[in-house]
Amino acid sequence: MTAFDFDQPQFSTKELLECVPGLNPETFQQWKKRHELRLSVGDEIGRGKRVQHTGTDVVQVATRYVLIPHGQFVAKFSIIWPVIKGRIIARQTGLIAIEPGPISALFYLHPETGELHMNSFSESEGVNFAAMGDPTIPTLQLMFGVDRFIDRMVEQMRHVKSGTKAATPPTARQPLPEGFEYDAAGNVVLCGLTVLETQHYARMEKFLDEDGHFPSEDDRTEFYKMFVPLDRKHALAKSKKDIDKLYESEEDDFFRRWVKDENGNSILVGLTQAENDEFRTLRVQDWAERNTKCSTIWETMDEQQTAQKRYLELHDKHETARQKRLGEEFKQRTTEENSKRMTGEGTKSAWKFWK
């Protein structure tokens, strides 16, 4: 079999996504927008011609993708990708892939096969640089087969270019990017928006990011009449989704925020059921206010001031009751129990608190 040309621009964006099964276009565009990828620009790109990605580009995107399920995000990607890229060059030219130094300590050549591997560790104590979340075992070791990964990507790219089906896809399906969800028909949409609204919003957002110049004040007014309602709708839906996740993550009640009412419902200490629901709604609005691209989610300044005042009232009422509860519980515990709780000994949430 002839050697694969990693440097030749030959993959359209559609073909690139086909080479990485499970990766959706929204995630790929989000990575590019955040400058998390360093894709090459070939001679065939530009001047109205279709974008053509190189094989190295495809492997880079796949590398970024396969690290997601292991919590190995940008910090580890910035270490791993240069080594994989160097290994691609080394396999084609015979040059050394890794120079001796701190980075080389993460990698090793298999003594029998000569394949390059990488070791990554997530410790259950200390700083969690990899953002792995709560570890379920004392030490998790991830071995990344660099050569095997490159070989599988070459196989996948050959299948895509030839129009045949790969025997084993190199990656698995990933969660949707931040701010997206599936609608009832299985389409990927922005939180709270329909497919058509998502398309309109994306075009208007791109215009604001790349240009933002209006020929006249009337054009500006007309644009924001369409954009503001969609932006508010999306910001509120996304914030509600984020708040729901936050509340679910506090089920163990490490910070002693929750109590049960007479009906067995979990509510914030110091608040009634009605106040708890109101505070949750106000909290969603507060988060949406911070995330919206518009100046505010409110129709009038009076509405905004009234909501913010009520939010602070309920927040202070809850926090006062929580602090009182902590003080009473502290008095009831022994010195040894208080010491263990302060250091997080024996508690799962201590990992969240101290990391």
Q: Which of 33-37, 225-229, 279-283, 342-346 has the lowest mean pLDDT?
A: 342-346
CB distance 153 to 19 below 8 Å: yes
Average pLDDT over residues 51-80: 75
Q: pLDDT > 90: what percent of the chain?
A: 16
Q: What is the pLDDT of residue 295?
A: 66
E strand or H helix at 155: helix 146-162
Between 74 and 87, the higher pLDDT residue:
87
Average pLDDT over residues 132-158: 65
Between 116 and 163, the higher pLDDT residue:
163
Average pLDDT over residues 191-213: 84
Average pLDDT over residues 178-188: 80
- Per-residue pLDDT tens for 221-270? 888 889 889 999 999 999 998 888 877 766 667 678 888 888 888 889 99
Judge whether residue 165 has pLDDT over 80. Answer: no
Average pLDDT over residues 135-159: 69
The DSSP output letter for 3 is: P
Q: What is the pLDDT of residue 144?
A: 64
Per DSSP, the residues of 10-23 read -B-HHHHHHHSTT-
Judge whether residue 47 has pLDDT over 50. Answer: no
CB distance 33 to 26 below 8 Å: no
Judge whether residue 172 has pLDDT over 50. Answer: no
- Per-residue pLDDT tens for 284-335? 998 888 888 776 788 888 998 999 999 999 999 999 999 998 888 878 777 6
The DSSP output letter for 294 is: S
Q: Which of 18-27, 116-125, 207-216, 325-334 has the lowest mean pLDDT?
A: 116-125
Q: Residues 6 or more apart from 18 whose CB is under 8 A from it?
A: 160
Q: What is the pLDDT of residue 126?
A: 41
Rounded distance between C-alpha atoms, residue 92 and residue 86, angstroms: 10
Q: Residues 6 or more apart from 278 whose CB is under 8 A from it?
A: 310, 314
Judge whether residue 30 has pLDDT over 80. Answer: yes
Q: Which of 38, 39, 71 is nearest to 54 (CA)?
A: 39
Q: Residues 6 or more apart from 334 whose CB is under 8 A from it?
A: none
The CA–CA distances, whole Å, from 303 to 5, 234, 309 equal: 61, 19, 10
Max avg pLDDT among 95-104, 121-130, 161-170: 161-170
Rounded distance between C-alpha atoms, residue 123 and residue 137, angstroms: 9
Q: pLDDT > 70: what percent of the chain?
A: 68
CB distance 122 to 351 below 8 Å: no
Give the residue extent of every domain in the chain: 13-162, 182-354
Q: What is the pLDDT of residue 234?
A: 92
Handedness of CA 34, 39, 43, 45 (dihedral sign): negative
| Residue 80 token pair | 């791993």
**174 phi/psi in degrees, rounded to 5:** -115, 165
Q: What is the pLDDT of residue 309?
A: 94
Judge whether residue 354 has pLDDT over 70. Answer: no
Average pLDDT over residues 145-168: 80
Q: What mean pLDDT is reported for the chain?
A: 75
